[in-house]
């Protein structure tokens, strides 16, 4: 076994790999860029080396040599499926904890991968062959079809086509995105399965010809071809179907000379599960590997290391599933705003302790816009699927992350969906339910809790000598009312009036009848009672004065404007300020100071976490106060410019 291993990755996956290295008594080396200098994976490792980019092969190899590492674990993403990196490791005398470069190469091109596994007898989706012309392939296959880039993955460049008149536009669009994402606009065509389920098989192969599978994972709950929820085993498959797909996955691994842990992905007709086809092979560890670990009682990273060290069949002799496991991915994003990335300093963090959490964040850390927005994974095991879902939902309800928006509330809504509960899934379910899943009703006590916490912050500490020191002051006959306006994104502003002390106050929202409230501080948070209902909240205020509240897995950012000036509000509403919808980097500025623009015209493009957002003119007018600069970093809600409306 190795004595030192370098982890060529970051975030939760690097932390997770380092955890296994520590358990095995292996010294760990982390690499990091400047934005990650104080990241959790850096502090978790025994040694850390600064590099300019996680994609810099030479820098990673130099770090390995300098620290005496004998092997490199690539995690997933970045260089994990890079043929040149695997080959460079071998040339440098370092063990790449993954498959041979030839296997990565064979499975990296979707057309070649289909040809390779088809020769081994693995069923493949009817589609284009080799360099067959796209239009010719579509005419042969028939509609509907799916256009896919031959290179790359992650759903980029995919287009569904249902009729001939849609084809030319879809081809052009798919090729543009494929060129921009992967530098290769080659497309393949597949028959589109209209009720698809995404099921993948975990395989392990040693260097001595041994290949086994560890059952399947269902990954059908997706958004824009990106997985959100994964589980093992699938609620769809019978033991016979599982055995057949597992055998096909092992055949696919043998066909390309695979070594290590990998995943063979299949598309399954949800209406006829016996109708299943090979999609692709991921030649690395998957984000969702923990559900397999929980169900089969193995450590896949430990098995990867043993295989890389030359062990023969290090896996258990008997591989039988036990119970059920479900995983969700926690992202820094705003589901109600098109899932735009968010970011900022983590003011408070509480991760559940009753289930497994693979996390890459810490309280006080900053989530920037340089990398993927995934923060952590929450994984729950149960004796059956229903128990696993219950435990997972309870864990999410207990999750607190303040200072930036996350998708935790969205995940709870998705897990509560009746079809999800019943296991009636397909890859289009989230898209069909998106509006209802992202709709967040404002609980009646959110504003009351914010007002009560505000009162507590204003109250003097220690013995009160002067009654005028109390919030609202003291007047003959009664306390004065304190008025303000609270705003929460996605909801109309609300006028809030309070009087009295926080522990015994009256609250009026938008002129309605007063209701009694009580807010007291408790260890780790606040207890707020409103109209006889009590709830516990966690809260923190950021540098801009926004109060972040968390309760039952939901997070609310409450901004307070104490001066109610209708004239000022009206003036602001009639203007055209253009704000950045997410923290990121300005990549394009298409206007200049004083330029005349029309409503809908492109002004600025902001990029963050692999996502571009085009900002357009809200009204006809003139560009004023232009602050956006190409290459400049901006915070969420930063004003980039103002469009002064035309007279």
Alpha carbons 392 and 370: distance in angstroms, whole number: 29
- The secondary structure element, H or E, covering residue 435 is helix 434-438
pLDDT of amino acid 572: 38
265 and 313: one domain?
Answer: yes
Ramachandran angles phi, psi of 367, nearest 5° = -95, 110
Q: Are 359 and 263 in contact (CB under 8 A)?
A: no
Place of tokens 């060129």: 179
Alpha carbons 431 and 111: distance in angstroms, whole number: 28
449 and 551: one domain?
Answer: yes
In a domain, 556, yes or no: yes
In a domain, 146, yes or no: yes
Half-sphere exposure of 205 (CA within 13 A, CB side): 25
In a domain, 349, yes or no: yes
Beta strands in 133-225 (DSSP E): 145-149, 159-161, 187-191, 196-205, 211-223
Q: What 8-state DSSP symbol labels residue 337?
A: G
Considering only CA atoms, which of 270, 142, 131, 263 is closest in space to residue 202? 263
53 and 167: one domain?
Answer: no
CA 331 to chain centroid, in Å, comes to 3
Q: Report the CATH number at residue 458.
A: 3.30.700.30
436 and 309: one domain?
Answer: no
pLDDT of amino acid 472: 55
309 and 200: one domain?
Answer: yes
pLDDT of amino acid 260: 97
pLDDT of amino acid 565: 39
Alpha carbons 314 and 306: distance in angstroms, whole number: 7
In a domain, 544, yes or no: yes
Alpha carbons 628 and 595: distance in angstroms, whole number: 14
Q: pLDDT per residue over 150-181, tens digit each?
A: 886 667 788 999 999 999 999 999 998 888 87
207 and 156: one domain?
Answer: no
pTM (two decimals) = 0.85
Quote the number of domains for the chain.
Answer: 6
**Burial class for 432, CB neighbours closer than 10 Å (0-12, 13-18, 19+):** exposed
List, for the chain, all residue ranges whose pLDDT scores fall below the cut of 70.
129-131, 152-154, 461-479, 561-575, 609-610
Q: Are 106 and 256 in contact (CB under 8 A)?
A: yes
Which tokens is 646 given?
Answer: 């035309």
Total residue length of the chain = 647
> Rounded to whole angstroms, what are the CA distances from 142 to 136, 145, 162, 310?
10, 7, 9, 48
187 and 118: one domain?
Answer: no
| Sign of CA pseudo-dihedral 436, 438, 439, 442 | positive
315 and 202: one domain?
Answer: yes
Q: Are 404 and 342 in contact (CB under 8 A)?
A: yes
In a domain, 360, yes or no: yes
User: What is the span of the domain harbouring residue 357?
Assistant: 324-440
Alpha carbons 107 and 95: distance in angstroms, whole number: 20
318 and 209: one domain?
Answer: yes
Which tokens is 368 given?
Answer: 């920037």
357 and 239: one domain?
Answer: no
> Rounded to whole angstroms, what are the CA distances from 179 to 131, 151, 226?
17, 10, 20
Number of Cβ atoms within 10 Å of the Cβ of 352: 18
Alpha carbons 135 and 140: distance in angstroms, whole number: 9
Q: Report the CATH number at residue 113.
A: 3.30.470.20
Alpha carbons 107 and 116: distance in angstroms, whole number: 8
> Rounded to whole angstroms, what are the CA distances from 394 to 327, 354, 404, 408, 552?
13, 9, 21, 12, 9
84 and 157: one domain?
Answer: no
What is the SS3 assignment for 377? strand
Q: Are 578 and 388 in contact (CB under 8 A)?
A: no
Indicate the residue among 280, 307, 322 that finishes a domain. Answer: 322
> Rounded to whole angstroms, what are the CA distances from 417 to 59, 148, 188, 422?
47, 30, 34, 9
Indicate the residue among 322, 349, 368 that finishes a domain. Answer: 322
What is the SS3 assignment for 9? coil
> Rounded to whole angstroms, what are the CA distances from 237 to 266, 288, 639?
12, 18, 52
207 and 278: one domain?
Answer: yes
Alpha carbons 70 and 50: distance in angstroms, whole number: 19
Q: How do strand 515-522 and strand 504-509 relate by DSSP bridges?
A: antiparallel
Place of tokens 């006590």: 445
In a domain, 566, yes or no: no
Indicate the residue among 261, 290, 322 that finishes a domain. Answer: 322
- CA 370-374-378 angle, to 5 degrees, is 160
* Beta-carbon contacts of residue 268 (< 8 Å; ≥ 6 apart): 196, 197, 198, 199, 236, 275, 276, 277
Considering only CA atoms, which of 540, 527, 562, 368 is closest in space to residue 457? 540
């Amino acid at each position: 076994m190795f004595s030192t291993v370098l982890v060529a990755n970051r975030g939760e996956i690097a932390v997770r790999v380092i955890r296994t290295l520590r358990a095995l008594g292996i010294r760990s080396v982390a690499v990091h860029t400047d934005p990650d200098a104080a990241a959790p994976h850096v502090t978790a490792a025994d040694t850390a080396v600064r590099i300019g980019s996680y994609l810099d092969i030479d820098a990673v190899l130099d770090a390995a040599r300098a620290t005496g590492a004998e092997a490199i674990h690539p995690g997933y993403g970045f260089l994990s499926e890079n043929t040149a990196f695997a080959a460079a490791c071998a040339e440098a005398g370092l063990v790449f904890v993954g498959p041979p470069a030839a296997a990565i190469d064979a499975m990296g091109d979707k057309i070649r991968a289909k040809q390779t596994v088809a020769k081994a007898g693995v069923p493949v989706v009817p589609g284009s062959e080799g360099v067959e012309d796209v239009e010719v392939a579509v005419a042969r296959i028939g509609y509907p079809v799916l256009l896919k880039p031959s290179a790359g993955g992650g759903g980029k460049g995919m287009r569904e086509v249902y009729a001939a008149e849609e084809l030319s536009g879809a081809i052009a669009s798919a090729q543009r995105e494929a060129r921009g994402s992967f530098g290769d606009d080659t497309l393949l065509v597949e028959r589109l399965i209209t009720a698809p389920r995404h099921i993948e098989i975990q395989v392990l192969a040693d260097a001595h010809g041994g290949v086994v599978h560890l059952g399947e994972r269902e990954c059908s709950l997706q958004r824009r071809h990106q997985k959100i929820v994964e589980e093992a085993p699938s609620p769809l498959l019978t033991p016979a179907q599982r055995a057949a797909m597992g055998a096909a996955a092992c055949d696919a691994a043998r066909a390309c000379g695979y070594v290590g842990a990998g995943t063979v992905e299949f598309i399954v007709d949800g209406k006829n599960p016996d109708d299943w086809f090979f999609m692709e092979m991921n030649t690395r560890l998957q984000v969702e590997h923990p559900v397999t670990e929980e169900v089969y009682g193995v450590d896949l990273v430990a098995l990867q290391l043993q295989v890389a060290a030359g062990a023969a069949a290090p896996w258990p002799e008997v591989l039988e599933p036990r119970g059920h496991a479900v995983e969700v991915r926690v992202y820094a994003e705003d589901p109600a705003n098109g899932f735009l990335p968010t970011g900022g300093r983590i003011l408070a963090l509480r991760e559940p302790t009753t289930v497994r959490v693979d996390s890459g964040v810490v309280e006080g850390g900053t989530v920037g816009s340089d990398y993927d927005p995934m923060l952590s994974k929450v994984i729950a095991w149960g004796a059956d699927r229903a128990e696993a879902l219950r435990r997972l939902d309870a864990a999410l309800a207990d999750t607190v992350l303040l200072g930036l928006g996350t998708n935790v509330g969205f995940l709870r809504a998705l897990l509560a969906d009746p079809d999800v509960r019943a296991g009636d899934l397909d890859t289009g379910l989230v898209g069909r339910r998106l509006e209802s899943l992202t709709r967040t009703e404002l609980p009646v006590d959110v504003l009351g809790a914010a007002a009560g916490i505000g009162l507590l912050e204003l109250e003097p500490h220690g013995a009160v000598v002067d009654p005028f020191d109390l919030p609202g002051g003291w007047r003959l006959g009664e306390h004065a009312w304190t008025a303000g306006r609270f705003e929460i994104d996605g909801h109309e502003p609300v006028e809030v009036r309070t009087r009295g002390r926080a522990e015994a106050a009256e609250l009026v929202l938008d002129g309605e009848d007063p209701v009694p409230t009580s807010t007291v501080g408790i260890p780790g948070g606040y207890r707020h009672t409103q109209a006889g209902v009590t709830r516990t909240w966690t809260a923190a205020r950021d540098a801009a004065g926004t109060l972040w509240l968390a309760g039952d897995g939901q997070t609310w950012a409450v901004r307070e404007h104490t001066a109610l000036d209708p004239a000022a509000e009206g003036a602001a509403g009639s203007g055209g300020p253009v704000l950045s919808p997410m923290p990121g980097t300005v990549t394009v500025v298409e206007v200049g100071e004083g330029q005349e623009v029309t409503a809908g015209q492109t002004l600025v493009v902001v990029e963050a976490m692999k996502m571009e957002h085009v900002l357009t003119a809200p009204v006809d007018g003139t560009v004023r106060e232009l602050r956006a600069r190409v290459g400049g970093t901006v915070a969420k809600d930063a004003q980039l410019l103002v469009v002064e409306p035309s007279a």
